[in-house]
């Protein structure tokens, strides 16, 4: 199936383009949604200026500055303390620090670490420094004092490093506080915090002095930092801990770095049937919140809410609907069948193709085809969702327009943050 085309507005007047250096705690993805204290602050700023935020991670400082110079970025989020260049200004957003984690099974080895990391406590431990570790004077002096330890650094993602620490590849993992809290929450007790560094580190926004948005951002942030919205973010991320923020996100079988626990199945089936797995995920979210055992009052079953009559139509036994892979496969076959039966002209805008297909998935292909036939008799465009939607509403099928809108919005969000 062809992706519903998203017309991205990259122009500076329509989007706020922000890049984050590899050391900066800016964002993370869970359940196909982007979160993070820095991300949410910059999202609020983008909203206040009527723009849409586009944030890219893992830039080197030099690459980030080049992006500013070439107007490929409007701002940079970084832990850099100072810049020896008068063209740039650093504006503090918030402070963070570094935390040391270990596997719960190894916690007994480092009980004394709470009083300080010393060579005697750490011994010959394998210590991993997460990507972008900012070796300031105090951090550097402390780590350099651990003469017997084996210290490594890596650009591997924090989730992989945390897993390797849980499995014993590394004894200790040093990472930024929000990363640590994220891993403590996601690993559900398999990791423990053994030490917190004392030195605070500022997370800054870097802007070009010559740009008018520098003054705009400074004035906005000074005002925003006094607002209820800012206090809510500060409470959620800094005072209550990131776990509080995640509890509203880590539901419905959603996972860190992806969309749901069914990602591999969606990819496998989607690739084999020619349907974008992220579209399948967006439909599954709207249908069942990724819950495999749910049965609707009408008898629809599983993550994709397949009716028994549809299963039988495609040659599957009703009992097979409880198998998630089969459930997804039937949904893809239904989607492809709907597209064939709609017979939309090749030049139909992809938004209309997607919306009409989703309407048929939700309310039935027969219903949508009869509406299109009525539209044809009335002499109006049968291939326009705007037209079809009016007829759908007139027939009292009020849930379908909301369904179409919700799935498309979620699909667009997934495409922005999750690779195909």
Helices (H), 303-383: 308-313, 324-342, 350-363, 365-377
CA dist 93 and 203 (Å) reads 6
Beta-carbon count within 10 A of 306 CB: 26
Q: How is residue 169 written in tokens?
A: 């590849």
Q: How is residue 126 written in tokens?
A: 């394998």
Tell me, yes or no, if the two domains 15-94+201-246 and 98-196 fold the same way.
yes
Q: CA-based Rg of the chain, rounded to a whole angstrom?
A: 25
Is pLDDT of 240 > 90? no
Q: 229 falls in which pLDDT band (50, 70, 90)?
A: confident
Please state which of the four CATH numbers 1.10.530.10, 3.40.50.300, 3.40.190.10, 2.60.120.10 is assigned to the domain occupying 263-417.
1.10.530.10
3-state secondary structure 93-157: EEEECEEEEEEHHHHHHHHHHHHCCCHHHHCCCEEEECCCCCCCHHHHHHHHCCCCCEEEECCCC
Is pLDDT of 345 > 60? yes
**What was the pLDDT predicted at 114?**
74
**What was the pLDDT predicted at 1?**
46
Distance of CA 301 to the CA centre of its chain: 27
Q: Topology of 98-196 in CATH?
A: D-Maltodextrin-Binding Protein; domain 2 (3.40.190)
3-state secondary structure 67-87: HHHCCCCCEEEECCCCCCCCC
Name the residue with tokens 């949508």: 368
Is pLDDT of 12 > 60? no
DSSP structure class, residue 235: I
Mean pLDDT for all residues in the chain: 86
32 touches 417 (CB < 8 A): yes
Sequence-ordered list of residues with C-beta below 8 angstroms from that of 336, at least 6 positions apart, any chain: 1, 273, 274, 275
- The average pLDDT across 381-403 equals 93
Q: How many helices (H) and strands (E) does the chain have?
A: 17, 12
Is pLDDT of 277 > 50? yes
Q: Judge: domain 15-94+201-246, CATH 3.40.50.300.
A: no
**What was the pLDDT predicted at 329?**
97
Is pLDDT of 6 > 50? no
**What was the pLDDT predicted at 377?**
95
**What was the pLDDT predicted at 3?**
42
Q: 215 falls in which pLDDT band (50, 70, 90)?
A: confident
Domain limits of the chain?
15-94+201-246, 98-196, 263-417
Is pLDDT of 7 > 50? no
**What was the pLDDT predicted at 86?**
83
Q: 3-class DSSP state for residue 53?
A: strand
Helices (H), 225-364: 228-234, 242-246, 263-273, 277-288, 308-313, 324-342, 350-363
Is pLDDT of 252 > 60? no
Q: How is residue 146 written in tokens?
A: 């651990």
Is pLDDT of 341 > 90? yes
CA angle (97 as vertex; 99, 88 as ends), nearest 5: 145
């Amino acid at each position: 199936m062809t992706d519903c085309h998203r017309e991205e507005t990259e122009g500076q007047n329509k989007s706020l383009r922000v890049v984050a250096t590899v050391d900066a705690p800016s964002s993370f993805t869970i359940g196909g949604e982007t979160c993070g204290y820095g991300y949410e602050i910059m999202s609020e700023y983008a909203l206040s200026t009527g723009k849409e935020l586009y944030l890219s991670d893992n830039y080197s400082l030099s690459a980030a500055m080049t992006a500013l110079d070439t107007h490929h970025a409007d701002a940079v989020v970084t832990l850099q303390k100072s810049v020896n260049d008068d063209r740039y200004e650093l504006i503090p957003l918030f402070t963070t620090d570094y935390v040391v984690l270990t596997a719960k099974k190894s916690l007994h080895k480092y009980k004394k670490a709470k009083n300080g990391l010393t060579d005697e406590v750490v011994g010959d431990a394998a210590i991993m420094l997460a990507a972008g570790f900012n070796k300031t004077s105090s951090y550097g002096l402390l780590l350099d004092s651990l003469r017997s330890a084996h210290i490594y650094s890596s650009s591997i993602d924090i989730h992989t490093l945390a897993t390797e620490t849980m499995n014993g590849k590394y004894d200790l993992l040093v990472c930024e506080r929000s990363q640590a809290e994220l891993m403590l929450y996601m690993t559900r007790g398999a990791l423990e915090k053994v030490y917190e560094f004392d030195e605070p580190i500022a997370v800054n926004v870097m802007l070009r002095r010559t740009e008018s948005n520098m003054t705009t951002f400074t004035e906005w942030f000074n005002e925003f930092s006094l607002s209820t919205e800012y206090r809510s973010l500060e409470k959620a991320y800094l005072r209550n801990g990131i776990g509080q923020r995640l509890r509203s996100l880590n539901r419905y079988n959603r996972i860190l770095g992806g969309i749901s626990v069914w990602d591999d199945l969606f990819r496998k089936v989607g690739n084999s049937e020619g349907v974008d797995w992220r579209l399948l995920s967006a439909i599954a979210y709207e249908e069942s919140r990724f819950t495999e055992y749910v049965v609707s009052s009408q008898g629809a079953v599983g993550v994709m809410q397949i009716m028994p009559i549809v299963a039988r139509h495609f040659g599957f036994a009703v009992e097979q609907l409880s198998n998630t892979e089969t459930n997804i496969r039937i949904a893809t076959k239904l989607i492809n069948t709907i597209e064939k039966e709609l017979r939309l002209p090749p030049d139909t805008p992809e938004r209309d193709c997607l919306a009409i297909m989703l309407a048929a998935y939700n309310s039935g292909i027969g219903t949508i085809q009869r509406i299109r036939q009525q539209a044809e008799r009335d002499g109006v465009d049968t291939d326009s969702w705007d037209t079809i939607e009016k007829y759908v509403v007139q027939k009292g099928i009020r849930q379908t327009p909301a369904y179409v809108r919700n799935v498309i919005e979620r699909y667009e969000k997934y495409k922005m943050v999750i690779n195909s």
